[in-house]
Amino acid sequence: MHTSRAIIIGSGISGIATAIRMAVSGYEVTVYERNSYPGGKLSNIRKDDFHFDTVPSLFTKPRELEDLFEMAGERLGDYITYKRVESTCKYFFANGKILTAWTDREKLLKAFAEQLEEPAENIQQYLNLSERLYNSVGKVFLNNPLVKRRLLAKRSFYKAVSQLRPYLLFDTLNGLHEKNFATGEAIQFFNRFATSMGSNPYSVPAMMCMISHAELNGGVFYPEGGMTSITNAIYQLALKKGVRFRFDAAVERIICGGDNVQGVVVEGENVFAETVVSDADIYFTYRDLLCDENTAAKIAAQEKSSSAIVFCWGMNKIFPSLQMHNVFFSGDYKAEFQHLFSSKTLYKDPTVFLNITGKAEKGHAPAGKENWLVMIYVPSGFTTSSNELISFARQQVLKKLRGTLKEDVEPFIDTESIIDPVLFEKNTAAYGGALYGISYNTKRSAFLRHPNFSRKIKGMYFCGGTVHPGGGISFCLKSAKIVGELVMKNGIPKH
């Protein structure tokens, strides 16, 4: 009996998850990865006994991961363990106010009331709206391919649409927050969730208020070993299910014959398969692998999400006032986003994200020290690394931390590694260093993301953070599930 072959290009979270789903369905699956390690953006850096995850991600919706393992007939707990954290983040505002965002609802409402003087009922109503939209509109949109005919055939689609109101479509996220909250701090707090999509809260449609649901209603978790343990868990599952990995093996081109995909070219060798799934950035997939300059140009013309500069600092001191996740807000949030998306320059007062996994797990830093992953969002699209840009960013970050913590932290930096947008593109093939592909900054952006299949080439599929439904671990796992279901239906959906 002939075994169908499938090739996955790229071993990011979505690529590995897709490979698992296809292997379980009986495919002979090979994953080609140009790097020497799996995980894509979700990898780690080890330097001088300090451990750094390369992204300061919050682990939400572990059910998505559990579903993948259950589908494969395995227990997630045999591969990875995780625990719920008491607070999602500690927020430092420019005016000196501080908010601890507890995962317990009552404690969270009390914190808003006592620390920010924001009425608890405002927060409660907003979180209820976020949950309602996520469980209606979100579930229909995020769990299905972008196929109009299929969506219209679902009863859940019409139920979801009934939840929509004009203001959710035509107002911005910031506009919604200004109408719902009494304090500037609460507005800024909830505006922050647009950055988890690399987008601008002053442009993103109000409907995206559902994005805060996963973190504030669903809870935040810490995987033992850090975020890269998620990569390791699904990689080990893939190996157990017979998926073959070839590292340091860059795919040079996708082979097509007529309207059908036929395989890939790797190191000058033709490797044939009936199904090809690209987990690579959708722009580079079209420009370099499918040699389709026209489609690549259309993708390039769409507004990209933000990128980032990350400083991995090994700190020769313990800072008791900090938690595992910390945010130091800009004093002028609107100006920061104008710089990010309009003038495409780095703002002088950037919001700083500080992740210290050593707060949750011993072994990520030597005794008496801390592993600081410090990140600021910057515009995507830089073509060359700039020492001047990085130096300016570093100065502004240190200034921000010094002003908030009332202490100069620079003397305590023992070791340093830096990732800028150019390095993001080099290491992860993210076009322009954009962390999430295109932004969500227009009313149609969510629907303009590339679908998970090719409309022209039978057997060609796409997964990962730059296609539907978007970036982040849970969305990438959803992307893999959508592709797996499309492949099992064996064909191109009708429109």
Amino acid 428: pLDDT: 87
pLDDT of residue 492: 42
Asked whether 440 and 204 are in contact (CB, 8 A), the reply is yes
Nearest to 222 by CA among 353, 359, 84, 324: 84
CA separation (Å) from 278 to 74, 291, 414? 26, 14, 40
Predicted pLDDT of residue 280: 96
Q: What is the pLDDT of residue 491?
A: 46
- Sign of the dihedral through C-alpha 118, 120, 125, 127: positive
> Per residue in 16-40, pLDDT tens?
999 999 999 999 999 999 999 999 8
The mean pLDDT value for 395-413 works out to: 97
Task: Provide the pLDDT for residue 213.
Answer: 93
When pLDDT is averaged across residues 438-446 and rounded to a whole number, the result is 75
Residues 6+ apart with CB under 8 A from 343: none
The position carrying tokens 């013309």 is 301
Give the mean pLDDT of 403-412: 97
Per domain, the residue ranges of the chain are: 5-40+227-302+441-489, 106-214
Report the pLDDT averaged over residues 314-338: 97
Q: What is the mean pLDDT of residues 409-424?
A: 95
If you average pLDDT over residues 51-59, what whole number do you get? 82
Q: What integer is the mean pLDDT of 127-155? A: 74
Fold that domain 5-40+227-302+441-489 belongs to in CATH: FAD/NAD(P)-binding domain (3.50.50)
Measuring CA to CA, which residue among 493, 494, 495, 472 is closest to residue 483?
A: 493
Cα separations (Å) of 133 from 126, 161, 345? Answer: 11, 10, 34
pLDDT, average across residues 471-492: 87
Q: What is the pLDDT of residue 371?
A: 97
Give the model's confidence band at 98: pLDDT under 50 very low, under 70 low, under 90 confident, else very high: very high
What pLDDT does 429 receive?
87
pLDDT value at residue 43: 85
116-126 pLDDT per residue, tens: 999 999 999 99
- Which of 167-171, 219-223, 325-329 has the highest average model confidence (pLDDT)? 325-329
Query: Residue 264 is which amino acid?
Result: V
Distant-in-sequence, close-in-space partners of 196: CB < 8 Å, separation ≥ 6: 211, 472
Q: What is the mean pLDDT of residues 423-428?
A: 89
pLDDT digit string, tens, across residues 188-202: 999 999 998 899 999
Amino acid at 123: I
pLDDT at 170: 77
pTM for the model: 0.93
Pairwise pLDDT comparison (314 vs 446), residue with the higher score = 314
Alpha carbon of 293 to those of 10, 59, 298, 437, 473: distances in Å?
Answer: 21, 37, 9, 18, 29
Q: Give the model's pLDDT for residue 436.
A: 87
Return the residue matching tokens 């044939």. Answer: 272
Give the model's pLDDT for residue 86. 93
Q: Tell me, what's the pLDDT at 56?
A: 66
* Per-residue pLDDT at 383: 80
Query: What's the pLDDT at 446?
Result: 61
Instruction: State phi, psi for 55 to the nearest 5 degrees.
Output: -135, 140
DSSP assignment, residue 79? T
Q: Are 98 and 91 in contact (CB under 8 A)?
A: yes
